[in-house]
Structure 1
Amino acid sequence: MPDVNARQLLLDMYAAAVGAVSADKCLPAFLPKPSPNGRTLVIGAGKGAAAMAKAVEDHWQGEIGGLVVTRYGHGADCKKIEVVEAAHPVPDEAGRRAAGRIMELVRGLSENDLVLCLISGGGSALLALPGEGITLEQKQAVNKALLKSGANISEMNCVRKHFSAIKGGRLALACAPARVVTLLISDVPGDDPGVIASGPTLPDPTTCEQALAILRKYAIEVPDNMLQTLTSGAGETPKPDDPRFARNSHHVIATAQQALEAAADVARAAGITPYILSDDMEGEARDVGMVHAALARQVALRGQPFHKPCVIISGGETTVTVRGKGRGGRNAEFLLSFAAALNGLPGVHAIACDTDGIDGSEDNAGAIYQPDSVARAEQLGKRARAMLDNNDGYGFFEALGDLVVTGPTRTNVNDFRAVLIV
């Protein structure tokens, strides 16, 4: 058994995962060459958009300009590309104005011009341009309802596309006849480019009918004008056979799998065998936490299906159906469920963090679990099961001093989880 500081190893694995998907590391190799005969306009949206814009500025040969929108606090020091900050996960007026300005910037381009579109997770909220007859306040209300419903990211973005004037390929159509090259940092399970940030420059195979079915599935009521947008087909998005997409291309430049593999390398260097369980796990965070706990218990007590010491790594995007009044994002929820299920089993440590540095809408990336977490919490009068029922993962791990706080990382490939069994 190697001499390992469990807490530090988990933190080092998370840091390596985030570093592997930074814009500066991943973006330069995908810049189009040669430069176009006409203008090069850079636009974009997402938690990583400003860092991506900075990487373009640092590596582009030729003149550029443009505008990207990112989350508050996620900016970067760009000289030629304007960076606007707006709200996430619920859109605000700053995001609406920025989306409108982007649509104005791309109008009137020629076929000799190039639009370089930089997209990362969070772009759905940040590119908030409501469709015709829909207000920002209505979009905000639907967004809040979706976030609380337990809908997965593909379902949420299907709905968002059909209430938008910019998502679901509409931004690309506004750029025509210019060529559009889209570079994406993926925050969605399966790395479907059309789902990332609701695919503003990608054709959309989903339909108004599917969006309506999702609203019904989660019992989300919308105003009559929004319902009419779907039932009439007025909100339909451009489809893959639209010839205006023919000259465009896209590249997914960073994925959860890359992050997990970088973390696995750190574990190997420490003498711990890593096992990547999945890069696209979905489902309720508390359910995924229970499954990880059951697997950890089987390894710890039975040596199945892996022998300890080992570390089990997974990524993807879980969901939280909010029922309580506590604080905490999906990673804190996962870890609190994990803690309650294991109840102090010796030799098991874990970390769960969002690679963007923000767990939900809190100020932490996630948290760390240790074998004595539940016992220490009970000494403070905090019971894991009751706090899980109240969706209060943040409160549980804050009391223990076990929140992981990194600040914005300016990238985003979603959740990172590692369970160390020694």
Structure 2
Amino acid sequence: MRPLLLLRALFDAAVAAAQPALCVPANLPPRPKGRLIVIGAGKASAAMAKAVEDHWDGPLEGLVVTRTGYAVPCTRIEIAEAAHPVPDTAGLKAAERILALARSAGPDDTVLCLISGGGSALLPLPLDGISLEDKQQVNRALLASGATITEINTVRRHLSAIKGGRLAAAAHPARILTLLISDVPSDNPADIASGPTVGDPTTCDDARAIIDRYGIELPANVRAALERDDAESIKPGDPRLANAEARIIAAPQMALEAAAEVARGEGLPVHILGDAIEGEARDVGKVMAGIAAQVASRYQPFVPPCVLLSGGETTVTVRGKGRGGRNVEFLLSLAIALGGREGIWALAGDTDGVDGLEEIAGAVVTPTTLARARKAGINPRDALANNDGHGFFGALGDSVVTGPTLTNVNDFRAILVEREEG
């Protein structure tokens, strides 16, 4: 299989492995004495709801909110759409209704919560004294700061009326089963959609320290809210979580393993370098370029030809005015570091089909990337300095566009290192 076709096949296999239709049915709860109430949020939540409907043999009701464009038609579960990554009024209204549904649950009911990546922005219900506009301002600042997803979600949990275990507390004493499709490094349930149904070990002190560390300017009322007792999230061991269970049903490692099987089927050795790699996207690009070059020239630590796979969530500290995207920033840095080296090809993309704010999953790097850019009059270093990976790869025709994938298991990176001739 030709390099670019192979890389795309690996990415498609990773996305396919995390489809809700495959992982939801086996994890449905037993039929309760009372109602089954389905709630949830995330880019995969509508597809998860459809999988519930298709495999549930009793009555059910509910509401989930997903990213605009990610809805899947359901007949018994209402699907709402809202903005991501910056929240909007539609998300606010959906979050209010989801919280009300949780509060309506009785002791004989089961609340089935369907959570996937993107849920933080889709459940933007703030604490009293904080407006949606405040949440939008803080969210934009966090996304541009270079903070990790763990740090971002620590702040989000302490400004929310629904995250950080509060949704589960609202449903007590009903049984709560949360099915999680993980998009975070290390698959920490508290970080997936900011953990609306799981205990949160972090504190308001932690949230304030993150704000200060990245120099984020908060509105005075938001800073004041972080000083209030009611900003503290629900902690592990809280009796209101006694009937709550969280179960991860799909995760980045599963997606990487599915891609690895495809590569092995083509006769290529595969090395998974990690499913939880974090750091500045451009720095990770340099490191991966160094590893790939060492493999190509020194046969260390692996012998070519081979495929190097990795996942996780890098960050981008926005300094320029380009179109952004952490996967394309990684690739642009990788391409610059490789310097047009022969025999090394790469693809990186977000498994939800959206890298940054663009409806583009990612892009590919080939041995001719830099040469074609120069011929087109594009300076790759200038593009990187301007955080304009999407502009760079779009101009070369090397973007990877999938449309809504209806799942989200974080970023996917694949590097093919061919054997050098001679």
- TM-score of the pair, normalised by structure 2: 0.98
Q: Residue 6 of structure 2 corresponds to which residue in structure 1?
A: 9
Provide the aligned C-alpha RMSD in A: 0.7
What is the match of residue 242 of structure 2?
246
Asked if 1:360 is matched to 2:356, the reply is: yes
CA distance in 2, matches of 1:209, 1:5: 52
User: Does residue 129 of the first structure (1) align with residue 125 of the second (2)?
Assistant: yes
Aligned residue for 1:334? 330
Q: Aligned with 1:180: secondary structure?
A: strand
Indicate the residue corresponding to 2:69 in structure 1: 73
Q: CA deviation at 1:231?
A: 2.1
Query: Match of 2:309, SS?
Result: strand
Of 251, 266, 270, the residue aligned with 1:270 is 266
Superposition deviation, residue 234 in structure 1: 3.0
Match of 2:251?
255
Match of 2:340 in 1: 344
CA-CA distance at 1:233 after TM superposition: 3.0
Question: Which residue of 2 is the match for residue 157 of structure 1?
Answer: 153
Displacement after TM superposition at 1:226 (Å): 1.4
Alpha-carbon displacement from aligned partner over 1:247-276 (angstroms, at most 9, x marks no partner): 111100000000000000010001111100
Match of 2:109 in 1: 113
1:24-56 deviation per Cα after TM superposition (whole angstroms, max 9, x unaligned): 0111111112x0000000000000000000000
| Correspondent of 1:216 among 212, 218, 224 | 212
- Amino acid across the alignment from 1:19: A
Residue 102 (structure 1) aligns with: 98
- Matched residue SS, 1:277: strand
How far apart are residue 380 of structure 1 and its match? Answer: 0.2
Q: 1:94: how far off? A: 0.3
In the alignment, the residues of structure 2 paired with residue 238 and residue 327 of structure 1 have an alpha-carbon distance, to the nearest angstrom, of: 37
2:285 aligned with 1:289, yes or no?
yes
Q: Shift in Å at residue 129 of structure 1?
A: 0.2
Q: What secondary structure does 2:187 align onto? A: coil
Identity of aligned residues (%): 61
Please say which of residues 330-339 and 228-237 is displaced more in the overlay. 228-237
Deviations 1:61-119 (A, max 9, x none): 21111000000001101111000000000000000000001111222321100000000
Secondary structure in 2 aligned to 1:190? helix
1:31 maps to which residue? 28
1:307-322 paired onto structure 2 within 5 Å: 307-322=303-318
Q: TM-score scaled to structure 1, two decimals?
A: 0.98
AA partner of residue 8 (structure 1): L
CA distance in 1, matches of 2:235, 2:201: 6
List alignment gaps of at least 5 residues for structure 1: none
- Deviation by residue 1:178-218 (Cα, 9 ceiling, x = unmatched): 11000000000000011100000111111000000000000
1:382-397 correspondence runs (5 A) = 382-397=378-393
2:44 corresponds to 1:40: no
Following TM superposition, the consecutive aligned residue runs of length 4 or more in structure 1 with deviations greater than 6 angstroms are none
In structure 2, distance between residues paired with 1:408 and 1:67: 20
Partner SS for 1:251: strand
Q: What corresponds to 2:398 in structure 1?
A: 402
Instruction: Please say if 1:61 is aligned against 2:57.
Output: yes
| Cα distance in 2 for residues equivalent to 1:82 and 1:217 | 40
- TM-superposed deviation, 1:411: 0.4
Deviation at 1:328, TM superposition (A): 2.8
1:120 & 1:108 partners in 2: Cα distance?
A: 23
Task: Specify the code of the residue in structure 1 equivalent to 2:394.
Answer: E
* CA distance in 2 between partners of 1:300 and 1:336 (Å): 19
Secondary structure at the counterpart of residue 195 of structure 1: helix
- The residue aligned with 2:198 is 202
C-alpha separation in 2, matches of 1:386 and 1:311: 29
How big is the shift at 1:314? 0.1
SS in 2 for 1:69: strand
Q: Secondary structure at the match of 1:154?
A: helix
Whole-Å separation in 2 of the counterparts to 1:252 and 1:17: 17
The match for 1:22 among 19, 24, 27 is: 19
Aligned-pair CA distance for 1:157: 0.5
| C-alpha separation in 2, matches of 1:146 and 1:108 | 34
1:374-389 paired onto structure 2 within 5 Å: 374-389=370-385
Give 2:176's match in structure 1, choosing from 174, 180, 191.
Answer: 180
Q: Please give the alpha-carbon distance, in whole angstroms, between the structure 1 residues aligned to 2:295 and 2:187.
A: 30
Alpha-carbon distance in structure 2 between the residues aligned to 1:232 and 1:200 = 20
Q: Residue 141 of structure 1 corresponds to which residue in structure 2?
A: 137
Q: 2:365 aligns with which of 363, 369, 373?
A: 369
Q: Match of 1:86?
A: 82
1:138 and 1:244 map into 2 onto residues whose CA distance is 29
Question: Within 2, Cα distance between the matches of 1:344 and 1:212?
Answer: 44
- The residue identity in structure 2 corresponding to 1:323 is R
Whole-angstrom distance in 2 between the partners of 1:36 and 1:232: 38
For the residue of structure 1 that corresponds to 2:177, the secondary structure is: strand
